Amino acid sequence: MILKPMVRNNICINAHPMGCRAEVRLQTGRVKAFRDRLTNFDKNGRGTPKPTHVLVIGCSTGYGLASRLVAAFGYGADTVGFSYEKEPSSTKPGTPGWYFNHEFDALAAEAGLFARTFSDIDAFSHAAKDKAIELARERGFQYDLIIYSLASPVRTDPETGTLYRSVIKPIGRQYAGRTLDVFTGKIAEATVQPATEEEIAQTIKVMGGEDWQLWIDALDKAGVLGRDAITLAYSYLGPPFSWPIYRDGTIGQAKLHLEKTAQALNEHYQDAKGLRAFVSINKAVVTRASAVIPVIPLYISTLFKVMKERNIHEDCVDQMIRLFAERIYRKGETQIPVDTEGRIRVDDLEMGPSVQNEVSARLAMVDESNLHTLADPDGFRNDFLRAHGFEVPGVDYEQEVLSFE
Ligand SMILES: NC(=O)c1ccc[n+]([C@@H]2O[C@H](COP(=O)([O-])OP(=O)(O)OC[C@H]3O[C@@H](n4cnc5c(N)ncnc54)[C@H](O)[C@@H]3O)[C@@H](O)[C@H]2O)c1
């Protein structure tokens, strides 16, 4: 069968097995090419702090996958990853992350790195924490870097069995903004009704810090949280015009809860265990999660155009290379630079005033007739397709896909 992407409303419902594998190999190649810079040109890693046993919760796609690639192929770390992906059947491809995970494991094995990947255990469950603990005990290591990179629409509370749902909605009043279908080039007005109190609470339950804290507590209790470990959870701030739907909306409340959780973890563990917990504010990138947020595709397309023109464009891999090499593992430095709120910032290039002023000016003018001049919808579309294994350079898409494995 010849596989073509099946996309509707910025959601792609299939994936290309060979393309997904090729995409991970390309990303790995980029990380390897930066390896010298990552270890600050110190081949032995002397004087450069580095991760050795890394747990990535949400490891299969987007920022989690990029973090794992950098930890493994940049720093030579052993990695354990959790994700929730669908395996292929005889008639249907699996989800992209399923293929990304498999290729990651194959590449890690080739490189002689220990890697264990769970594609089908709910990271919110006790079972996931037990697995991570069991593995560390079996192999006699402790985790020194724990990355929390989940993006999920639902969470089952492991104690009560209650299912909670997250929503992306404004709070207090309705939100109207323009949204872009990057496949048709159509710009439409989208309105989103304000969230109820119940929806706000449920979104915090799913995307807030409760589960992050449960992970750290479980690892510590089991004795597999390393001394002086670092833990990171990812967040986004974005430009003021997106705040009603993002930062000041339901998801922003959940992200605020993550920040409070980082503080709580630091208060509880820093003195006794040396643990440092941070929220890292990353830049806007195209991932399966970000494509469905109203207004974000038009903003990201415009942002990409401006950042590419200035040669400062970054994707997930570029961001994670910078996060590791220039924030958390700096040569001769134990101090991690943070903003006044204690957050790591790698969204600095996106949020710089010059970039933001230019993006705002273009957004005020952009319509369907000048979309390709002022913005980069093709760049968005390409990143989005590549996240599903399509349009990956070097892959022959006219070749029959004989198996979805
Ligand atoms: N995409 C952006 O532009 C952007 C920007 C800044 C910060 N962030 C943040 O980065 C984090 C990751 O987002 P992303 O865009 O990389 O998302 P993504 O959709 O690419 O990745 C989400 C990961 O979570 C896993 N997952 C979801 N539910 C799970 C479950 N129940 N059990 C196990 N694994 C599960 C998925 O399998 C996948 O590995 C989020 O916190 C997001 O807010 C994203």
pLDDT digits (tens, 9 = 90+) for 181-196: 888 999 999 899 999 9
What integer is the mean pLDDT of 38-52? 66
3-state SS record for the chain: CCCCCCEECCEECCCCHHHHHHHHHHHHHHHHHCHHHHCCCCCCCCCCCCCCEEEEECCCCHHHHHHHHHHHHHHCCEEEEECECCCCCCCCCCCHHHHHHHHHHHHHHHCCCCEEEECECCCCCHHHHHHHHHHHHHHCCCEEEEEECCCCCEEECCCCCCEEECCCCCCCCCEEEEEEECCCCEEEEEEECCCCHHHHHHHHHHHCCHHHHHHHHHHHHCCCEEEEEEEEEEECCCCHHHCCCCCCCHHHHHHHHHHHHHHHHHHHHHHHHCCEEEEEECCCCCCCCHHHCCCHHHHHHHHHHHHHHCCCCCCHHHHHHHHHHHHHCCCCCCCCCCCCCCCEECCHHHHCHHHHHHHHHHHHHCCCCCHHHHCCHHHHHHHHHHCCCCCCCCCCCCCCCCCCC
With tokens 């961001």, the residue in question is 319
pLDDT digits (tens, 9 = 90+) for 245-280: 999 999 999 999 999 999 999 999 999 999 999 999
Ligand 1 within 6 A of CB of 61: yes
Please pick, among 246, 269, 299, 329, the residue that the annotation labels catalytic: 246
Ligand 1 within 6 A of CB of 145: no
Please say if the pLDDT value at position 89 is more than 70: yes
Question: To the nearest whole number, what is the mean pLDDT of the chain?
Answer: 94
What integer is the mean pLDDT of 114-143? 98
Nearest CA to ligand 1 atom 4: 284
Ranges of each domain in the chain:
12-386
Q: CB of 281 within 8 A of CB of 311? A: no
Instruction: Say how many Å lie between the CA of residue 169 and the centre of ligand 1.
Output: 18
pTM of the model as a whole: 0.97
- Please give the pLDDT value at position 49: 83
- Please give the pLDDT value at position 41: 47
Nearest CA to ligand 1 atom 12: 149
* Torsion sign over Cα 345, 349, 350, 354: positive
- Please give the pLDDT value at position 246: 93
- Please give the pLDDT value at position 46: 55
Question: In the CATH hierarchy, which top-level class contains the domain 12-386?
Answer: alpha beta
| Parallel, antiparallel or unpaired: strands 276-281 and 344-345 | parallel
The reply to whether 246 belongs to the active site is yes
Nearest CA to ligand 1 atom 11: 149
Please say if the pLDDT value at position 294 is more than 80: no
- Please give the pLDDT value at position 351: 98
CA pair distance 292, 289, nearest whole angstrom: 6
Ligand 1 site-directed mutation target among 65, 215, 236, most atoms within 8 Å of CB: 236
Q: Which atom of ligand 1 is nearest to the CA of 95?
A: 37
Ligand 1 within 6 A of CB of 79: no
Q: Which atom of ligand 1 is nearest to the CA of 83?
A: 34
Q: Could you give the percent of the chain with pLDDT greater than 70?
A: 97
- Please give the pLDDT value at position 132: 98
pLDDT digits (tens, 9 = 90+) for 320-372: 999 999 999 988 888 999 999 999 999 999 999 999 999 999 999 999 999 99
Burial 339-358 (b: 16+ CB within 10 A, else e): eeeebbbbbebbeeeebbeb
Among the listed residues 316, 288, 259, 296, the one whose alpha carbon sits nearest the alpha carbon of residue 83: 288
Please say if the pLDDT value at position 288 is more than 80: no
Ligand 1 within 6 A of CB of 289: yes
Please state which of the ranges 104-118, 211-225, 285-299, 342-356 shows the lowest mean pLDDT.
285-299
pLDDT digits (tens, 9 = 90+) for 136-167: 999 999 999 999 999 999 999 999 999 999 99
